Amino acid sequence: MAARPQPYLDDLNPAQRAAVLALDGPVLMLAGAGTGKTKALTSRIVHLLATGKARPNEILAVTFTNKAAREMKERVARMLGQSVEGMPWMGTFHSISVKILRRHAELAGLKSNFTILDTDDQLRLMKQLIVAANIDEKRWPARMLAGLIDSWKNRAWTPAKVPSSEASAYNNRGTELYQQYQDRLRALNACDFGDLLLHVVTLFQAHPDILAQYQRWLKYILVDEYQDTNVAQYLWLRLLAQAHRNICCVGDDDQSIYGWRGAEVGNILRFEKDFPGAEVVRLEQNYRSTEHILAAASGVISGNSDRLGKTLWTEAKGGEKVRLIGHWDGEEEARWIGDEVEALQRGSRSMEAQSLDHMAILVRASHQMRAFEDRFLTIGLPYRVIGGPRFYERLEIRDAMAYFRLAVSPDDDLAFERVVNTPKRGLGDKAQQEIQKTARASGMSLLEGARELLARGGIGGKGAGQLRAFVDGVDRWHAAILNARPEVADAVIEPMVPDAVPQSDMGHVRLAEVILEESGYTSMWQNDKTPEAAGRLENLKELVKALEQFDSLQGFLEHVSLIMENDTEEAAEKVTIMTLHGAKGLEFPVVFLPGWEDGLFPSQRSMNESGQKGLEEERRLAYVGITRAERLCTISFAANRRVYGQWQSQLPSRFIDELPVPHVDVLTPPGLYGGGYGAAGMGGGSRIEERATKADVYNSPGWRRLQDRSATRPISQPRESKQQVIDLDAVSSFTEGDRVFHTKFGYGTVAAIEGDKLDIAFDKAGVKKIIARFVVPAHE
Ligand code: ATP
Ligand code: MG
């Protein structure tokens, strides 16, 4: 052991220390969240450097994100007490693979300046091949082929290695197209993301001399978040490690959340087989979270059947229970969380004042972020969105807003430029320059320039018809805003949408939808088969939903420009909004987990696509979410959410049922019952009619289960809360003679009860059979 002091070892428990000191030979550290795996891994790097066992360029450290790699370098430097002179081999699988591949590109049939295709390019290329192969792209979309090829690459199968059991894939043409695709990529001197790993693995396999060189250079290999590696990554690691066997992998099978990207938990089991004699380190003490948080997370994950199983404990006894709260809708959820964040910042909960940096909102789907961003912008609460642009900065949102801007002011040239050829309208650079020139020559707006150019036949081909349709579209939308009927479209022009909706008395929300439909913008994303397209469509729906809170498109646009303007001032502290996937490995004293509703979380898509396996992966995601919290974890759900433009009543997530009761505090939702949703109010608002009634919430099985559970002990009230306890009896059942209210039929009296159906004698509408959850007790 080196003579210098090793204070970094003092911070570790015996199991961690053993993992750090066992520098030579294979080590597998398999342990639950917050047990200090990453800390041990980092200390191991420090130890390698401090003892002189390895130089910085001899350590290969693979982490999940570039951000994690940067943080690790900083931590190492801090622990060493000196800056680390470059650690070139610390990064993600992809970033390290690029480095290797650039050096040996010619062996993979590429030049060293090869380009890396993004998903769009990848799909475009595949489409060309599909068309050339005479395959009906509608039945066999490019996205399907892309997914197939990706999954083969994740398993490290080159076209020649795809097993015959896959021969029927993609209408029996999968393997053939895969080969063609790879040939095309080579001809283009390009590779896609999956290739980065695949080429390196193939290269190492074909050229033992080169592999041996890397084995000599990279003496020590460390891998964080090992549970999320796929087969190709595993082989990559195994090839590099098999000579010296100095490989240390740390992970947690319960946190495997990238199955859809081909990650295989089975790699954990393979490790011990491939590296016999591996030291297996188990860590059981959690240093991150309080007892209640840990117990809640353990309770949820115990619902999974396929687990290696482990014990977790913490010295942090007591603390706050996991808080659970249901809300009326997503907006109310955002409002409540905003208020809570501010209360915690002031220190008016049971904790001392918390910095905004200590708080995070972790969502299942990125479209959930909009409600929080809007609310936080409105109340001036600084926030950061990690892992993606903020809502109003997203590509599809900026495009859609450009359409709205044009509709409001057709002279908005910037907006015109942005969308005139999005979706593609056959207007090349030349045509667009012509428009610019014409407009400039007569000092007109681009829209007017386009109109004039069309009038004098200055634009030819397919572009002319489409440009005319675009110009007419803007005219129609603008006219709709001025609430005047648009001029009847010229009969020779093909309309953008066959049945243009009559627009005379259209509300601005509907108009926004119409604009996105008629312009072809929505269908552009509907026809787009990239993985991002679905998310973009969801964001567009979110945008339309946001409009509801304003009187007009113009009012909305003003709001957005004002809040964006305000926000340019950099705040020092910010609350974090990010997805659960992105939060892996991170920790925050205070965590909010909104949107725990069946269909949203667990997500319907993952359950549809992968059944029980999908559900188990969602459950691991729930485990990841809860275990990010150090001291306070709040789970919430809403009874109503607008999904694809429709109000839907939501059921609390099944994961809520799996939270162990003794570790959970059920808070009473604000606003519900007596809090502004009175029967009279319900009759008045037309929007409310579309939504579930209050009784829906109360009578939903999920809500009942929840209340039954909390009814076994007194519902504890959050401090300083004005909230009321729900009188369960008053809402969960009706008896004959009860006066009730229905949003459509008005007031009535319950005449008979049969299961969940009520015969109600309405004062005005006569006797009707109504499902109980569609009425509320009347407050006359
Ligand atoms: P995850 O599974 O979420 O990635 P992890 O196992 O990597 O978690 P770390 O992030 O390394 O856990 O550690 C969790 C927290 O516990 C960190 O704040 C870390 O500093 C602290 N910690 C780890 N080990 C110890 C220890 N021996 N003594 C005190 N604190 C520790
Ligand atoms: Mg970690």
Measured CA to CA, the distance from residue 42 to residue 36 in angstroms comes to 10
Question: Is residue 67 within 8 Å of 288, Cβ to Cβ?
Answer: no
**Is pLDDT at 112 greater than 80 in this prediction?**
yes
Is 616 annotated in the active site? no
Q: pLDDT exceeding 90 applies to what percent of the chain?
A: 45
CATH 1.10.10.160 positions along the chain are 115-188
Which amino acids are annotated as binding site, given as ranges?
31-38
468's CB contacts (< 8 A; 6+ apart) are 454, 493
- Going from the Cα of 17 to the center of ligand 1, the distance in angstroms, rounded, reads 13
Count Cβ atoms below 10 Å from residue 742 Cβ, excluding itself. Answer: 23
Is 712 annotated in the active site? no
Closest residue by Cα to atom 19, ligand 1, is: 36
Q: Which of 224, 253, 329, 616 is catalytic?
A: 224
Which amino acids are annotated as binding site for ATP, given as ranges?
31-38
Mutate to test the pocket of ligand 1, among 8, 12, 37, 39 (most ligand atoms within 8 A of CB): 39
Measured CA to CA, the distance from residue 85 to residue 763 in angstroms comes to 82
318: left (phi over 0), alpha (psi -120 to 50) or beta: left
**pLDDT averaged over the chain?**
82
Is 38 annotated in the active site? yes
CATH architecture of 7-97+199-283: 3-Layer(aba) Sandwich (3.40)
- Going from the Cα of 317 to the center of ligand 1, the distance in angstroms, rounded, reads 17
Measured CA to CA, the distance from residue 242 to residue 766 in angstroms comes to 81
pLDDT in tens, 693-748: 445 445 545 455 555 544 433 322 222 322 222 222 223 367 778 887 765 667 78
Cα pseudo-dihedral 348, 353, 358, 363, rounded to 10: 10
**What pLDDT band is residue 324 in, cutting at 50, 70 and 90?**
very high
**Is pLDDT at 614 greater than 50 in this prediction?**
yes
Mean pLDDT of 92-111: 91
Q: What is the pLDDT of residue 378?
A: 81
CATH code for 115-188? 1.10.10.160
95's CB contacts (< 8 A; 6+ apart) are 66, 69
Measured CA to CA, the distance from residue 96 to residue 60 in angstroms comes to 9
CATH 1.10.486.10 positions along the chain are 393-522
DSSP per-residue codes, 120-142: HHHHHHHHHHHHHTT--TTTS-H
Instruction: For residue 483, give the DSSP letter.
Output: T
Higher pLDDT residue, 69 or 683?
69
Burial-class residue 57 by CB neighbours within 10 Å (0-12, 13-18, 19+).
middle
pLDDT in tens, 366-415: 889 888 988 988 888 888 887 666 777 788 988 999 999 899 889 888 78
Is 739 annotated in the active site? no
CATH 3.40.50.300 positions along the chain are 7-97+199-283
CATH code for 393-522? 1.10.486.10
Q: What is the pLDDT of residue 645?
A: 60
Tokens of 128: 């060309």
Closest residue by Cα to atom 9, ligand 1, is: 36
575: left (phi over 0), alpha (psi -120 to 50) or beta: beta
Of 181-190, 378-387, 566-575, the least confident: 566-575
Tokens of 333: 């959820």
Q: pTM of the predicted model, to two decimals?
A: 0.69
- Going from the Cα of 197 to the center of ligand 1, the distance in angstroms, rounded, reads 30
Tokens of 110: 């590429």
Strands 279-283 and 27-31: parallel
